[in-house]
Amino acid sequence: MADPAEALGLGQSPPHDYGPRDPRRWRAPWSARAVTALTALGALAVGFLLATGLSAGREVAEAQDARKDELIALIGERIERAEELSAQLDALRDRVAETEDVVFAGVEELRRDVEELELAAGLADLTGPGVVLVLDDASDPCPQQPADCRIQDVDLQLAINTLFAAGAEAVAVNDQRVLSVTAVRSAGQTVLVNRQVLTAPYELVALGDRDALEEGVAGSRLAADFAVWSDEYGLGFDLAGTPSVEVPAYRGSVSLDLAEPAASATGADGRDTDVPGEDR
C-alpha cells in the first residue's frame, strides 16, 4: 500500500525555488543605438517636411510679390504716360495761343470775342474773392466700413453743387477746373476728377461773392451732414473766406463726340412742330 505522505509529496523538495533572488533592472526593448537611429530618422523626416512647406510658402509669397511689383510698375507707367500726354496737351495749347496771336494781329474785336468765349467756357485762369473749402479723410480708419472714414465721390459732388448753388462763378478741386463735362468718380481709395487721380485732402476753391458763398455753404445740407460725420467718423470740414483765390483754366478736352444739334422741323404755319411736351 502506498505511503500517504509520499502520495501528497510531503517531505520532498518544493518544485519551485522561492528563495531570495538578485534584483533585475529594466531593459529597453530596443538598444540605445536603434533608438538614436530612429530618432535621427524622425528628425530628418520632420525637417524635410518643414523645409518643403517653407519652400512652397516662400515660392507663393515671391510670386505674389512679383505680381504686386508688376502692377505697381504698370500703374507708374500709366501715370507717367498720362503726365506726358498732359504735357503734350499744354504744349499744343501754347502753340494754339501763339497761332492765335498771329492770326488775331490787328483784329482786336475778334480777339475779345474769343477771350470772352474762353472765359465763359472755363478755358481761362480766374482770380478774385471767394472761399476755400477743404474736405479731408479721418485720421483713423473705420474698422467696420472703411469707406465711411474717407471722402467719396458723392461728397465732392455734393460740395461742388452746393458751391455753385451758393453763387460760385467758378470752382476747382485740387487745381482741376469743374465744368459741365467734368466727371467725379471714385477709383479705389482715390477720386478721379477730369480723369485725374486726386487724393485727400480735397481743396475746393470757389470764386464769387465771399459773404454769400460762406453763408450759403454754412446753411446747406452739406454743412449739416459733415457736422454729424465729423463727430461720428472724424471727417474733416473746413470753410474759409479769402479776398483772393485762383481758379485755374480747364486743361482737358471740351469736344463732345456724341452730341449734335437737335433737329427742329417747322410747319406750314411757321410753328415748331417738335417742341417737347406738345404731343397729345
Higher pLDDT, 132 or 189: 132
Peptide bond preceding 201: is omega within 30 degrees of 0, i.e. cis? yes
pLDDT of residue 272 exceeding 50: no
Q: Give the single-character DSSP code of 176.
A: E
Q: What's the whole-number average pLDDT of the chain?
A: 80
Q: Where are the alpha helices (DSSP H) in the chain?
A: 4-8, 32-103, 108-121, 153-165, 210-218, 221-233
CA angle 60, 64, 65 (to 5 degrees): 115
pLDDT of residue 106 exceeding 70: no
Q: What is the pTM of this model?
A: 0.57
Asked if residue 191 lies in contact with residue 216, where contact means CB atoms within 8 angstroms, the answer is no
pLDDT above 90 covers a percentage of the chain that reads 39
Asked if residue 135 lies in contact with residue 235, where contact means CB atoms within 8 angstroms, the answer is yes
45-58: per-residue pLDDT in tens?
777 777 777 777 77
